[in-house]
Homo-oligomer: A and B are copies of this chain.
Amino acid sequence: MVKTRLEAFSDGVLAVIITIMVLELKVPHGSDWQALQPLLPVFLSYVLSFVYIGIYWNNHHHMLHTLKRVNGKIMWANLYLLFWLSLVPFVTGWMGENHFAALPTALYGVVLFMAALAYLVLQKCIILVDGGTESLLAKAVEHDRKGKVSQLLYAIAIPLAFWNQWLADGLYSLVAIIWLVPDRRIERILEE
C-alpha cells in the first residue's frame, strides 16, 4: 500500500511536469505564420522534453514494478529524481526561447545528466531493499549498457554545446531515441 502512494505521487508530479511545459508555448499575439515562427524552437524543445519525461515515467514504472517494500531512503531518492525532473520545464523553456543557444543547451544537458544520476541512485536503493545483487532488478540492469552510454553522451554533449550546440542537441535526441524502446530487460527477467 505504501508503494501505491509513492507511485501515485510520482505519477502526479510527472503528469504536472509534462503538462506545464506547454505553458512555455506562449500564445502569440498575431494570427499568421509569422506569429508562429518564433515558437518553432520552443516547440521542438517541448517535443524533446515531452519524450524525455515520457521515458522517465516509462522506466520508473518498470523499475518500481519489481519493488516490494518502500523505506525512507527510497522515498528520498525518488524525491531527488523528481527534483531534477522538475527543472526540465525551466531549462526547456530557456533553451527554446534562446533558439538553442550555447549555455541553455549545456544547462539542459546538465539537468538531464543529474536526473540520470538520480535515477541510478534510486535504482541502487531499490536493489538494496529487494535483496541486493541477487534481486530481479539487479539482474535485469546488470550490464546497463543503455545507462552507461547515456551518461557518456551527456558528458560529451555538455562541453560540446559551447563549440557547436546543434551537435549537443543531436546527442540529446540520440539518447532519447535509444531509450524510446522501453526497458525490456526487466520484462524479460520477470517472465522467466
Contacts and interface: CB of A to CB of B under 8 A. Distances in A.
Q: How many copies of this chain? A: 4
Interface of A is mostly: helix
Nearest to A101: B31
Contacts of A93: 27
Contact of A20 (B16, B27, B61, B75): B16
A98 B32 CA distance: 10
A13 B9 contact: no
A58 to B, nearest CB: 6
B5 A7 contact: yes
A5 B58 CA distance: 10
B13 A13 contact: no
A121 B120 CA distance: 33
A16 B19 contact: yes
B2 A33 contact: no
A24 interface: yes
Given A15-B12, A58-B72, A181-B72, A27 B65 contact: no
A94 interface: yes
Contacts of A103: 31-33, 36
A78 B1 CA distance: 20
Contacts of A98: 30-31
A12 B72 CA distance: 20
Contacts of A97: 27, 29
A98 to B, nearest CB: 4
Given A13-B15, A24-B27, 15 more contacts: A11-B12, A12-B12, A12-B16, A18-B82, A19-B20, A23-B23, A27-B90, A27-B94, A28-B94, A33-B103, A54-B79, A58-B75, A61-B75, A72-B182, A76-B180
6 contacts: A5-B61, A9-B57, A17-B19, A22-B89, A27-B93, A31-B101
